Amino acid sequence: MSSLPPSIPSSRQAASVVDWRKVGFLAALVVPVALLWSTPIVWPLKILVVFFHELSHGLAAILTGGRIARIEVVAAQGGVCWTMGGNQFLTLTAGYLGSLAWGAGVLLAATGSKRDRAVSIGLGSIVLAATVLWVRPVLSFGFGFHLLAGGALVLFGWLLPDAFNDIVLKVFGVTSCLYVIPDIYSDTIARSHLRSDARMLAEMTHIPTVIWGGLWILIALAVCGGLLLATCRRTPEIPAS
């Protein structure tokens, strides 16, 4: 019975290891975003995260048989999605976790694909389409901001190189992931009296607001941990036999 030489691992033995260059690059994005968190520089990214939070509510309603009446987003990093029909439990749950999923998906796409320009065009097109269909009123901050944001993403993808788009997408993904956990804590634990998604779920299920907030934070931490492993690993190459 033959075996592979010790220097050549089998396919089962080949394990993913940390790619420290990817760790360094991710840290180079996370640190400035964190340091500039309360400045106007990061503010547009936060508005986009709020938009995807509200859009996630709406998409959950659509997927469960309902529809979106309208989406509103204001400059003070607030928003609301008015829906009709659909599964209320899933619609309420989809906000925080949905915006996290958008950020994680964009970050993974930017990390695992060399077609960053196409990803930017796709993301920008989603923002533009959702804005035209559902963001109201038309003469409002939310409508104008997201037309500009969606258009900018499409132009970035159309005109600028993959390397530039890679950074833009990763910064959005990082910001989305960083925003979700403190946002959940603020809305559901620190200020549990607010009429947040968790408060409405508490009224529906008779499970306290802070329990929903704590559960979402645990899920968000697990997703962020898995995302860190997925984006900062490499698989050793196995020589062909």
Position 24 in a domain:
no
Asked whether 238 and 9 are in contact (CB, 8 A), the reply is yes
* Terminal Cα distance for the chain, rounded: 17
Q: Where are the alpha helices (DSSP H) in the chain?
A: 20-35, 43-63, 88-112, 116-134, 141-159, 162-185, 197-205, 209-231
Provide the number of structural domains found in the chain.
1
Provide the domain limits for residue 183: 43-228
pLDDT at 234: 65
CA 197 – CA 188 distance, rounded (Å): 8
Position 4 in a domain:
no
pLDDT at 192: 73
Half-sphere exposure of 71 (CA within 13 A, CB side): 28
Position 16 in a domain:
no
Burial of 54 (0-12, 13-18, 19+ CB in 10 A): buried
Position 10 in a domain:
no
CA 145 – CA 141 distance, rounded (Å): 6
CA 53 – CA 100 distance, rounded (Å): 8
Task: Please list the ranges in the chain whose pLDDT falls under 50.
Answer: 1-2, 4-5, 7-15
pLDDT at 13: 42
- 15 Cβ neighbours under 8 A, 6+ residues apart: 235, 236
Position 3 in a domain:
no
Position 178 in a domain:
yes
Position 37 in a domain:
no
pLDDT at 134: 98
pLDDT at 235: 55
Q: Which of 61, 196, 200 is nearest to 134 (CA)?
A: 61
pLDDT at 224: 87
Q: Which of 99, 104, 108 is nearest to 51 (CA)?
A: 99
Position 207 in a domain:
yes
